[in-house]
């Protein structure tokens, strides 16, 4: 490890303005200030409402399939020489952690009387989760998705349409997640009276980074509970980071502990290439989609196109809380390449019979770079999603 991580005691960010240190906040058009404030107040009230919490817990259990197991990967453990556990978010309904947040936000939308939902999606897992909750609660769903991502994530596009959502292709810009997010925000601005925007990650203006984190912290809460029940000491927690929702939900309950926290970004074609999506480890602070955070940009502040073989990590920014934890040194961020992620996915599939999402494969790949002498207990990896959606990509690289 390059340095010893220090526990963050009494951690209570963001502040009232949605800031994590200098990061976060609201950099949005005036027309969205009132909706964001309305959402902030609705979320604050919901957090204090036992009935809301009980309703969300009910749907997480009976509809989404929580709690998810903490699985001891025995053959992977034998290979690396220390216990490796997988937090199995891939077993959730819709196939990934995205359903946790989609359920929480759709219940807020219902509280606010919104009947129309818009969302962005890259890998399609958030889009599928939103389409699913729209079907479950009888709401109109409109999903924006870059045409490049639609092509490489065709199974998820089909699922969204079968669920009754309208999938709108985005043809401008890079035709990936950044541009889908921009189009979803434009829709929200235009139709703010009857429309609720369900953001899929810990990005965007306040209160979204805080709210999405809180809805995803169930991942870390369950992990902590299972480790304590099993009397297992977690030396390291590892998760992939694009926008960063699975990672922050996983890490959050451990911020005041001695556990080493590792976020893994998409290194794309490698350190000798500019084709990557490593906003923290190769970017610098700026403003994107309503929030101040680390992002990929040129010297004059223009956003740079991101690249990852994984559509869910193919985003030029990262959540503001990750930016804060990066600068504080509480979480260490690394990157792995497309090739390393593909190899890791094949390794996990052959050794454990589990096909991971390409996003999750980046976290698995980091095991190759983790020195055995640094591990003083178990390594726990957030397996954020399953790989059905990436099957064509996997088969094309066999």
Domains (range + CATH), the chain: 27-60+98-212 (3.40.50.1100), 67-95+217-396 (3.40.50.1100)
| Structure letter (DSSP) for residue 68 | P
SS3 track for 234-299: EEEEEEECCCCHHHHHHHHHHCCCCCEEEEEEEEECCCCCCCCECHHHHCEEEEECCEEEEECECC
Residues designated as active site? 98, 120, 384
Q: Long-range pairs for 56-59 at CB < 8 Å and ≥24 separation? A: 56/103, 56/104, 56/107, 59/103, 59/107
Task: Map residue 363 onto helix, strand or coil.
Answer: helix
Instruction: Supply the pLDDT for residue 152.
Output: 87
Higher pLDDT, 250 or 153: 250
Instruction: Supply the pLDDT for residue 4.
Output: 64
Q: Parallel, antiparallel, or unpaired: how do β-strands 84-88 and 378-383 relate?
A: parallel
Give 343's pLDDT tier (boundaries 50, 70, 90): very high
Q: Taking 90 as the threshold, does the pLDDT of residue 348 lie above it?
A: yes
Instruction: Supply the pLDDT for residue 1.
Output: 33
Q: Taking 80 as the threshold, does the pLDDT of residue 351 lie above it?
A: yes
Using an 8 Å Cβ cutoff, are 311 and 153 in contact? yes
What DSSP element (H or E) covers 84? strand 84-88
- The mean pLDDT of the chain is 96
Interacting residues of 398 by C-beta distance below 8 A, sequence separation 6+? none
How many CB atoms are located within 10 Å of the residue 221 CB?
A: 15
The C-alpha atoms of residue 204 and residue 291 are separated, in whole angstroms, by 5
Each residue's pLDDT tens digit, 44-102: 999 999 999 999 999 999 999 999 999 999 999 999 999 999 999 999 999 999 999 99
What DSSP element (H or E) covers 160? helix 154-162
Number of helices followed by number of strands (H, E) in the chain: 16, 14
The C-alpha atoms of residue 53 and residue 55 are separated, in whole angstroms, by 5
The C-alpha atoms of residue 281 and residue 117 are separated, in whole angstroms, by 34
Q: Which strands make up the sheet holding 84-88, listed edge to edge?
A: 70-72, 84-88, 378-383, 234-240, 260-268, 331-337
Give 2's pLDDT tier (boundaries 50, 70, 90): very low
Each residue's pLDDT tens digit, 112-166: 999 999 999 998 999 999 999 999 999 999 999 999 999 988 999 999 999 999 9
User: What's the burial of 172, exposed, middle or buried (CB within 10 Å: 0-12/13-18/19+)?
Assistant: exposed
Each residue's pLDDT tens digit, 254-313: 999 999 999 999 999 999 999 999 999 999 999 999 999 999 999 999 999 999 999 999
233-251: average pLDDT: 98
User: What's the burial of 149, exposed, middle or buried (CB within 10 Å: 0-12/13-18/19+)?
Assistant: buried
């Amino acid at each position: 490890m390059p340095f010893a991580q220090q526990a963050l005691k009494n951690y209570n960010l963001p502040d009232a303005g949605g800031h994590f240190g200098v990061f976060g906040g609201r950099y949005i058009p005036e027309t969205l200030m009132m909706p964001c404030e309305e959402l902030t107040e609705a979320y604050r009230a919901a957090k204090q409402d036992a009935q809301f919490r009980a309703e969300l817990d009910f749907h997480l259990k009976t509809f989404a399939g929580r709690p998810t197991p903490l699985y001891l990967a025995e053959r992977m453990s034998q290979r690396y020489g220390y216990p490796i556990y997988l937090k199995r978010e891939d077993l959730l309904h819709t196939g990934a952690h995205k359903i946790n947040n989609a359920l929480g936000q759709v219940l807020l939308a219902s509280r606010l009387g919104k009947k129309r939902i818009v969302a962005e999606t890259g890998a399609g897992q958030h889009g599928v989760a939103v389409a699913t909750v729209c079907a479950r609660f009888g709401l109109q769903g409109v999903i924006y998705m870059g045409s490049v991502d639609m092509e490489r994530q065709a199974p998820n596009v089909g699922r969204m349409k079968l669920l009754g959502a309208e999938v709108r292709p985005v043809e401008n810009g890079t035709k990936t997640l950044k541009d889908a997010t921009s189009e979803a925000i434009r829709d929200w601005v235009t139709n703010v009276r009857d429309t609720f925007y369900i953001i899929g990650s810990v990005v965007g203006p306040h209160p979204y980074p805080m709210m999405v984190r809180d809805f995803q912290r169930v991942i870390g809460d369950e992990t902590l509970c299972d480790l304590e029940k099993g009397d297992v000491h977690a030396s390291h927690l590892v998760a992939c980071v694009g926008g960063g929702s699975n990672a922050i939900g996983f890490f959050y309950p451990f911020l005041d502990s001695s556990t080493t926290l590792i976020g893994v970004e998409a290194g794309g074609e490698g350190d000798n290439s500019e084709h990557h999506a490593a906003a923290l480890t190769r970017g610098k602070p700026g403003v994107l989609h309503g929030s101040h955070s680390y992002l990929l940009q040129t010297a004059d502040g223009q956003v740079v196109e991101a690249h990852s073989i994984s559509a869910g990590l193919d985003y030029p920014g990262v959540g503001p809380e990750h930016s804060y934890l990066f600068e504080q040194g509480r979480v260490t961020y690394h990157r792995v390449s497309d090739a390393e992620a593909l190899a890791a996915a094949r390794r996990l599939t052959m050794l454990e019979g589990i096909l991971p999402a390409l996003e999750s494969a980046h976290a698995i790949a980091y095991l190759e770079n983790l020195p055995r002498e640094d591990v003083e207990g178990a390594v726990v990896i957030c397996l954020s999603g399953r790989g059905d959606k990436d099957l064509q990509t996997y088969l094309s690289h066999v």
